[in-house]
């Protein structure tokens, strides 16, 4: 079981899936920085003066790290960065879910369709589940590439 | 070390793409999105203007029909919420400015007839507010600001910016554009008011 979990065959495919997700998500946000800034502001967790910097840098970090992961460049570091981002997203969504404050994920840019508060709260739970799944993928990469750190 | 390299490349890419972005996509690096609590009396730029007491005579706004509701200035706070009925009356006077705080792309898809675009999320909003101040509009006359209603805070953020340059009669259409549409009131599409 451990052998299969750490197999190169599986790891490469996991890299592709995780990379594709973050590259697509990042590109959608790069296309509309003010929209993403608005989404970050709605979370109510980031000081106003930092919202724009975060909206500008975060999507590029997703894309560049995703591309690095896809090409197998510094894949442990890339997986670590994406893992940290996922943990931050899960915590941010969790805090707003606990506040019962509906926010749009902002994961793939600004939502075009207006949803009710109940729909958005439900979406937030699904997004958290999805991000936990992605976090497991990042975990698999880190587990399978443990030996790369020792070299 | 690799992680810092990824971050450094991301920062450079962000700098580059923002520098060459159009007005609707560009962001100022330092945002200004704090919602201030209600200011204490006398706060705000310029000379503090006293709130009219109950016995004061309030001059009706230009264009207001006789007996129309008055909307006196409120120098102690950035804005006051008004209802759809009040907005309809103010719009009918044709002399009250309407400012749309939503994104320019959303504005183009449809806005209150006569409203001007003042998106708080685009990089030129501070220049627009300064230019609006420079037009010499009466700072105590009512201005209506709106966005998407509900939990949207864009109109409040725009009201804050207007208050900071001296406009003390900003009225927020709290139910916003969706309410205007629901009432079947006139809208315009495109970049012009």
Q: Which residues of chain B make contact with A41, given a CB cutoff of 8 A?
A: 31, 33, 153
Of B7, B29, B32, the CB nearest to A48: B32
Q: Which residue has the higher pLDDT, A151 or A78?
A: A78
Max CA-CA distance within chain A? 52
d(CA B149, CA B160): 17
Which residues in chain A are closer than 8 Å to B29, comparing Cβ atoms?
Answer: 52-53, 56
Cβ pair B148, B176 in contact under 8 A: yes
- In the predicted model, what is the mean pLDDT of residues A41-55? 90
**pLDDT above 60 for B39:** no
Cβ–Cβ below 8 Å for B29 and A55: no
For the segment B9-38, the average pLDDT, to the nearest whole number, is: 80
Determine the pLDDT at residue B38.
Answer: 38
A7 close contact with B: CB closer than 8 A = no
Residue A110 reports pLDDT greater than 80:
no
pLDDT higher than threshold 50 for residue B41: no
Q: Note whether B33 contacts A53, CB cutoff 8 Å.
A: no
Residues 6+ apart with CB under 8 A from A92: A43, A45
**Given the structure tokens 């706060």, which residue do they identify?**
B43
Whether residues B10 and A30 touch (CB distance < 8 A) is answered with: no
Distance between A33 CA and the closest CA of chain B, angstroms: 6
Question: Terminal CA-to-CA distance of chain A, rounded, Å?
Answer: 24
Chain A residues touching B11 at Cβ < 8 A: 57, 60
Which residues of chain A does B18 touch, with a Cβ-Cβ cutoff of 8 Å? 33, 56
Interface contact A48-B31, CB threshold 8 A: yes
Q: What is the pLDDT of residue A96?
A: 92
Mean pLDDT over A21-42 rounds to 92
| Nearest chain A alpha carbon to B12 | A57
Mean pLDDT score of chain B? 83
What percentage of chain A exceeds 90 in pLDDT? 62
ipTM of the complex: 0.85
Nearest-neighbour CA in chain A from B59: distance (Å): 38
A47, A64, A76 member nearest B9 (Cβ): A64
Cβ-based neighbour number of residue B135 at 10 Å? 7
Q: Which residue in chain B is spatially nearest to A47 when comparing CA positions?
A: B34
pLDDT tens digit sequence for B88-108: 999 999 999 999 999 998 999
* pLDDT score for B48: 40
Residue B9 has pLDDT above 90, yes or no: yes
Give the closest-approach CA distance of B18 to chain A in angstroms.
Answer: 8
* pLDDT at position B49 over 50: no
Task: Flag if A34 and B103 touch (Cβ within 8 Å).
Answer: yes
Are the Cβ atoms of B11 and A51 closer than 8 angstroms?
Answer: no
- A98 pLDDT above the threshold of 80: yes
| Average model confidence (pLDDT) across chain A | 88
Which of B31, B122, B153 faces A51 most closely, judged by CB atoms?
Answer: B31
- A147 vs B71, more confident: B71
d(C-alpha A118, C-alpha A123), whole Å = 9
Would the pLDDT of A120 be above 60? yes
Q: What's the rounded Cα separation, in Å, for the pair B165 and B143?
A: 14
Mean predicted confidence (pLDDT) in A118-135: 92
Bridge partner list, B98: B144
Output phi, psi for B49, to 5 deg: -105, 125
Minimal CA–CA distance to B86: which of B188, B179, B187?
B179
**Per-residue pLDDT, A109:** 61
Q: Which of B46-55, B58-67, B148-157 has the lowest mean pLDDT?
A: B46-55
Residues of B in contact with A68 (CB under 8 A): 6
Span B23-40, average pLDDT:
65
> For the residues B163-180, what does the mean pLDDT come to?
93
Instruction: Determine the average pLDDT of the residues in A22-33.
Output: 93
DSSP-derived letter for residue B21 is: -
- pLDDT tens digits, one per residue of B122-171: 888 999 999 999 998 889 999 999 998 887 889 999 999 999 999 999 99
pLDDT of residue B88: 94
**What's the rounded Cα separation, in Å, for the pair B98 and B78?**
16
Between A108 and B41, whose confidence is greater?
A: A108
Q: What is the pLDDT of residue A146?
A: 84
CA distance linking residue B160 with residue B120, whole number of Å: 10
Return the minimum-mean-pLDDT range out of A1-5, A58-62, B56-60: B56-60
Chain A residues in contact with B123 by the CB 8 A cut-off are 34
């Amino acid at each position: 079981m451990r052998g299969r979990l750490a197999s190169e065959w599986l790891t490469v495919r996991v890299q592709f899936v995780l990379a594709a997700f973050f590259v697509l998500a990042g590109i959608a946000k790069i296309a509309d920085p003010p929209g993403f800034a608005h989404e970050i502001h709605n979370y109510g967790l980031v000081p106003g003066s930092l919202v724009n910097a975060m909206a500008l840098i975060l999507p590029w970090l997703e894309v560049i790290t995703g591309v690095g992961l896809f090409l197998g460049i510094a894949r442990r570091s890339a997986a670590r960065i994406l893992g940290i981002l996922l943990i931050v997203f899960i915590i941010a969504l969790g805090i707003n879910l606990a506040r019962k404050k509906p926010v749009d994920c902002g994961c793939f840019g600004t939502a075009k369709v207006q949803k009710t508060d109940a729909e958005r709260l439900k979406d937030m739970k699904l997004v958290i589940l999805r991000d936990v799944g992605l976090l497991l993928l990042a975990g698999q990469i880190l587990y399978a590439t443990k030996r790369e750190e020792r070299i | 070390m690799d992680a810092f390299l990824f971050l450094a490349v991301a920062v450079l890419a962000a700098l580059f793409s923002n520098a060459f972005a159009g007005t609707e996509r560009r962001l100022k690096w330092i945002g200004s999105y704090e919602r201030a609590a209600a200011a204490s009396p006398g706060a705000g730029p310029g000379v503090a203007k006293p709130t009219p007491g109950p016995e004061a005579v309030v001059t009706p706004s230009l264009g207001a029909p006789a007996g129309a509701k008055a909307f006196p200035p409120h120098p102690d706070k950035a804005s006051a919420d008004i209802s759809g009925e009040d907005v309809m009356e103010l719009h009918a006077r044709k002399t009250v400015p309407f400012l749309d705080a939503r994104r320019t792309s959303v504005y183009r898809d449809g806005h209150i007839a006569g409203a001007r675009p003042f998106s708080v999320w685009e990089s030129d909003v501070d220049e627009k507010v300064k230019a609006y101040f420079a037009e010499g509009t009466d700072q105590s006359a009512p201005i209506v600001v709106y966005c998407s209603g509900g939990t949207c805070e864009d109109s409040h953020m725009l009201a804050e910016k207007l208050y900071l340059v001296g406009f003390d009669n900003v009225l927020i259409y709290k139910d916003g554009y969706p309410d205007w549409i629901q009432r079947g009131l006139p809208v315009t599409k495109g970049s012009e008011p």
